[in-house]
Structure 1
Amino acid sequence: MFGIYLKRELGRRKKAALVIALGLALGIALVITVNSVSAGMTQAQDKVLKSLYGLGTDMTVTKAQSAPTSGSSGGPRFNFDAKSSSSSTQSSDRVNTQGGQVLASSLVTKVAAQKGVSDAVGALTLNVTKVDGSFTQGKAQSSGSSQQGGPGGGSGSTAQPKVQGGGASFDVNSYSVAGIDVTNQDLGPLATSKITSGTTFTAAQTDSKVAVVSKSYAKEKKYKVGSTFKISGTKFTVIGIATPDSSESTTDVFLPLKQAQTLGDSKNKVTTIYVKATDSKQISTVKSTIQKNISGTTVTTSADLASTVSGSLSTASDLATSVGKWLSIAVLVAAFLVAALLTSSAVSRRVREFGTLKALGWPSRKVTRQVVGESMVNGLIGGGLGIALGLAAAYTVTAISPKLTAQLGSTGGGGQGGGPGGGGPGRQSTASTMEIALSAPVSLTTIALAVGLAVTGGLIAGAMGGWRASRMRPADALRSVS
């Protein structure tokens, strides 16, 4: 009886039911769209942070760069030999550690032993500045000749010879090098990349003269597997080409840690310790533990680094988080109120119907159940329409949204770092800017939220309408008869 009556009443008031369902659908669709865009923003920021941290890295440990002493020069110095040949080609490499002061390699073991730490690995970041070119010696040429002097036939003076030509032409090339622990490549700088050509390091190559280069750097230098190059006179062989998983790589060359330490004159030293926590929900506690037990270090988490992300990605994320969510809540509340008012108004127009039903013996709870049932069906229809509209909006955002830019600055704790705490590998002198494609993924959680909102909207509207219907008396039906 309940189902038959419900179907007949909804069919008889199609327009009213559709208006209520559409109102709820618009509110639900907006909630789905805002949640999907927010999820896309979070994914985009995770990609930015992952490109600096490394897969599975929860925090990094570095040490702030000390202030230069008075009279010292922070810039690189190059010394070239003077030669007598007219044209001399010379080359020199300047290798500097980067990302703050170096840490003793023994600290890696100490950090790994801290409570809450699952794994820790050290890395050494270097910047290599290569200067090569040639000097050209100038030539002395005489531009004057003897001239007749004054009375007495004396000769004039000869002009001094002038040096013409000569000079110097040098090219400067700067690139980044990361020394990694080849026995644990799942954590650290190389973890964000996949080897798309050749092979990666083996555990036996801890001190081998081999290298993995990034895809962009290999393309620039026309390197391929088997190519060789020199750093400060040491020849390295390319064994693999690495392609970053989600963003442009900030490291050009990867070397075994011992080789990088030799080049940087930093034996048993690292610049960054990458840390993985046993529980991602306890990262702040692990950070406090490391800072307490290992003094003089800077511990930087992904949350710390996220605060340094700026650009259109950050602006859009703030809008989606604040304005978008408040707007969706406001529209949803308005949709619920409109549905409740329309349902209550519809009940008011059914005075004769409900009064007659009560006169026939229907109790108030049965009348209330009938109204709530109709409202629930309207809510579920609105939920279905809202999910369809929300999915369409999310797909449209993914298809037509422009790329957003993310600019990464240092967190201030590690000197010149572009990575966590200034300790991450890469080109550290300036902030790094990258483009991120925005998507709007719709999760099952979002769909479940939409269904819950649809049911809630139906219950709110049904409760108000049912309360009004339950207060009607059979006498009301008689008074409504003209």
Structure 2
Amino acid sequence: MFFTYLRRELRRRRKAALVVASGLALGIALVIVVNSVSNGMGRAQEKVLQSLYGLGTDMTVTKAAAPASGDAQRPRFRFEAKDSGSKDDQSSDRVMAQGFTTLPASTVTEVAGQKGVSSAVGGLSLNVVKVSGQFTRGQFQQGGGGAEMRGNPGSGPQGRVEGGGADFDVNHYTVYGTDVSRPELGPLTSSEITSGRTFRATETDAEVAVADSAYAEEKKLKVGSTVTIKGVKYQVIGIATASSGDAAANLYIPLKQAQTLSGEKDKVTTVYVKATDSQQIGAVKSAIRKNVPGTTVTTSADLAKTVSGSLSTAADLAAGVGTWLSVAVLVAAFLVAGLLTSSAVSRRVREFGTLKALGWKSGRVTRQVVGEAVVNGLVGGALGIALGLAGAYAVTAVSPTLQAQLGGSVGGAGGPGGGGVFLGGPGRQAAKSLEVALTAPVSATTIVLAVGLAVAGGLIAGAFGGWRASRLRPADALRRVE
């Protein structure tokens, strides 16, 4: 009887039911789109942050920033004089620890021993400045009788030097020394080996390198090529492509080799940390700061605060304006649904009065009204989910490009010359721009939320109408003239 009456009433009042369902559908669709875009913003931000220090890393530990010491941080180059030929080819490499700040390798063990730390691995970030070129000797030209010839008598041949000079090229690139025995953490994990192979655990001190794909294309490197760093030739064994489109370093070499090149024996610039529980990252950070003095601990949440640009602006809009707009539309939809249901009850006074006179209890009348409202809500939910999925698909299909700028004061010391700020990972300086494509993934949680909202909307609307229907008395209802 309940379902028969329900079906008949919904069919008889399908226009009013469609209006209620459409209002709820609009609010639910907006919630799905906003929620999906917010998820896409989160994924885009995670993609940007992964390029800083790799997948699976919860935090980084670097040496606490110290005041710059002036000349100590200024690269110096020396060239030996040669006495053969008219052209002297010269080159000099300066290999410096990034930010000029390092930690003892024993810090890795200290950090790994802290409560809540699952694993920790050290890495050495280097900046290499290579100056190469040639000096060209000038040619002495004897004069004939001009002013140049009129010098002091007996001073020897008179003349002048013509030509000569210097032509030098400065090449700057970054190198990251990775602990090849612990490949699960560090910046290289955010890149995919697209050619060749990665390091083997036995290559702890081997003269091998993995090149970033963009750098390899620029320098025309491929698997089997060699690169020379400070006179040492390294064979390229693999080409890595960064998932974020921007690599952490141009070249990756074993940690021991990086320490030897830079003269930083048993030193690291960064410790990459993975916590046993993502919910305990704050507690782990506090423990490291307390028990490992002289260090700066940076988490992904700290780095997220430094992301600016259109990605940050869009995220703020989705989280702020979008959320409040969704709430406002939902509230309006619920109110409209409730008022329309209540109005429908007012038009059915004689009907409900007759049913009560026939023996229907107030509770049965209320359940009938609530049932109709819940069905309207479910229909609205189905329409809303369809519209929301279509909107999310449209955003993903268009994939608007957002720009993210990485900058801020977290993560440690300045870069070469003391000017840049590095964000807990190699090769990252202030105001580093990245581009990411926005998607709008719809999660199962979002669908469950939409269904919940649809049921809630129906219940709220039914509560309005059911309350009105339960107050009707048969005698009063039958005296009403419509």
Shorter-chain TM range is over 0.9
TM-score by length of 2: 0.94
Instruction: Give the corresponding residue for 1:268.
Output: 266
Shift of 1:165: 1.8
- Pick from 250, 267, 274 the counterpart of residue 252 of structure 1: 250
> Where does residue 104 of structure 1 map in the other structure?
104
Distance 1:410 1:64 in 2: 15
Matched residues in 2 for 1:438 and 1:172: separation?
37
Answering whether residue 33 of structure 2 is matched by residue 4 of structure 1, we say no
Q: What SS does the corresponding residue of 1:423 show, helix, strand or coil?
A: coil
Give the CA deviation at 1:218: 1.0
Q: Deviations over 1:193-232 (max 9, x none)?
A: 1222111111111111111111111111111111112111
Q: Alignment partner of 2:183: what SS? A: coil
Question: Partner of 1:469: helix, strand, or coil?
Answer: helix
* Structure 1 stretch displaced more, 392-401 or 278-287: 392-401
* 1:47-68 deviation line (CA, Å, top 9, x unaligned): 0111112111000110134223
Task: Give the whole-Å Cα distance in 1 for the aligned partners of 2:217 and 2:413.
Answer: 30
- Counterpart selection for 2:404 from 403, 406, 411: 406
**1:59 corresponds to which letter in structure 2?**
M
State the match for 1:426 in structure 2.
Answer: 427
**Contact between 1:38 and 1:320, CA under 8 Å: does it hold in 2?**
yes
Alignment of 1:178-189 (within 5 A): 178-189=176-187
Letter in 2 for 1:475: A
**Aligned twin of 2:308:** 310
**Mapped contact 2:93–2:229 kept (Cα < 8 A):** yes
Alpha carbons of 1:103 and 1:366: their partners in 2 closer, same or farther (altered >3 Å)? same
Question: How far apart, in 1, do the equivalents of 2:99 and 2:333 lie?
Answer: 53
* Superposition deviation, residue 250 in structure 1: 2.6
Give the SS at the match of 1:466: helix
Secondary structure, counterpart of 2:42 in structure 1: helix
- Which amino acid is the alignment partner of residue 425 of structure 1? P
Equivalent pair of 1:211/1:256 in contact (CA under 8 Å): yes
Change (3 A) 1:375 1:423: closer
How far has the Cα of 1:80 moved from its partner? 1.3
Which residue of 2 is the match for residue 81 of structure 1? 80
* Contact 1:305–1:420 (8 Å) recurs in 2: no
Mapping for residues 436-451 of structure 1, pairs under 5 Å: 436-451=436-451
* Superimposed CA distance per residue, residues 14-66 of structure 1 (whole angstroms, 9 cap, x where no aligned partner): 11000000000001011111100100000000001111121110001101342
The 5 A counterparts of 1:123-272 are 123-142=123-142, 145=145, 161-272=159-270
Relative to 1, partners in 2 of residues 1:423 and 1:167: Cα closer, same or farther, differing over 3 Å?
Answer: same
CA separation in 2, counterparts of 1:104 and 1:181?
A: 15
With over 3 angstroms needed to count, the CA separation of the structure-2 counterparts of 1:326 and 1:477, relative to structure 1, is: same
The answer to whether the Cα contact below 8 Å between 1:62 and 1:421 also exists between their aligned partners in 2 is no
How far apart are residue 245 of structure 1 and its match?
2.6
Q: CA deviation at 1:81?
A: 1.9
Cα deviation code 1:410-447 (max 9, x no counterpart): 4344112699964311154x432110000000000000
**Contact 1:209–1:237 (CA<8 Å) still a contact in 2?**
yes
Residues 144 and 186 of structure 1: CA distance in aligned 2, closer, same or farther (over 3 Å): same
- How far is 1:135 from its partner? 1.2
CA contact (8 A) 2:381 2:450 kept: yes
Q: Secondary structure, in 3 states, of the residue corresponding to 2:238?
A: strand
- Whole-angstrom distance in 1 between the partners of 2:389 and 2:170: 52
CA distance in 1, matches of 2:2, 2:186: 64
In 2, distance between residues paired with 1:73 and 1:116? 38
1:353 match: 351
Q: Deviations over 1:315-360 (max 9, x none)?
A: 1001111111011001101100000000000110111111111111
Q: Distance in 2 between matches of 1:53 and 1:179?
A: 13
How many residue pairs get matched? 472
CA distance in 1, matches of 2:421, 2:179: 18
CA shift for structure 1 position 189: 1.8
Tell me, yes or no, if the aligned pair for 2:73 and 2:100 is still in contact at 8 Å: no
Aligned counterpart for 2:388 among listed residues 387, 390, 397:
390
Contact 1:195/1:242, CA 8 A, preserved across alignment = yes
Per-residue deviation at 1:463?
Answer: 0.7
Secondary structure of the 2:236 match is: strand
Which whole-Å CA distance do the structure 1 matches of 2:99 and 2:273 have between them?
16
When residues 354 and 419 of structure 1 are mapped into structure 2, their CA distance, relative to the original with a 3 A threshold, is farther
The TM-score, its normalising length taken from structure 1, stands at: 0.94
Matched position secondary structure for 2:73:
coil
- Tell me the equivalent position of 2:150: none
Contact 2:32 2:388 in 1 (8 A): yes
**What is the correspondence of 1:43-58 to structure 2 with a 5 Å cutoff?**
43-58=43-58
Amino acid at match of 2:464: M
| Residues 406-415 or 210-219, more deviating | 406-415
Contact 1:98 1:423 in 2 (8 A): no
Contact 1:309/1:406 (<8 A) preserved? yes
Work out which of the residue numbers 331, 334, 351 in structure 1 matches 2:332.
334
CA contact (8 A) 2:311 2:403 kept: yes
The match for 2:285 is 287
What SS is found at the alignment partner of 1:242?
Answer: strand
Counterpart in 1 of 2:40? Answer: 40
Partner of 2:473: 473
* 2:342–2:468 contact (8 Å) kept in structure 1: yes
Residues 77-132 of structure 1 deviation map (CA, whole Å, 9 limit, x = unaligned): 11112234311111111100004511110111111011100000000000001111
CA distance in 2 between partners of 1:420 and 1:138 (Å): 44
Distance 1:178 1:345 in 2: 71
Q: Which amino acid aligns with 2:451?
A: V
**Displacement of 1:146:** 6.4
CA distance in structure 2 between the aligned counterparts of 1:288 and 1:316, rounded to whole angstroms = 32
Aligned partner of 1:153 in structure 2 is none
Secondary structure of the corresponding residue to residue 477 of structure 1: helix
Q: Which amino acid aligns with 1:468?
A: R
Alpha-carbon distance in structure 2 between the residues aligned to 1:36 and 1:384: 17
Identity score, percent: 68
Residues 144, 159 of structure 1: 8 Å contact kept: no
Please say if residues 261 and 267 of structure 1, whose CA atoms lie closer than 8 Å, have aligned partners that are also in contact.
yes
Find out whether 1:64 has 2:64 as its counterpart.
yes
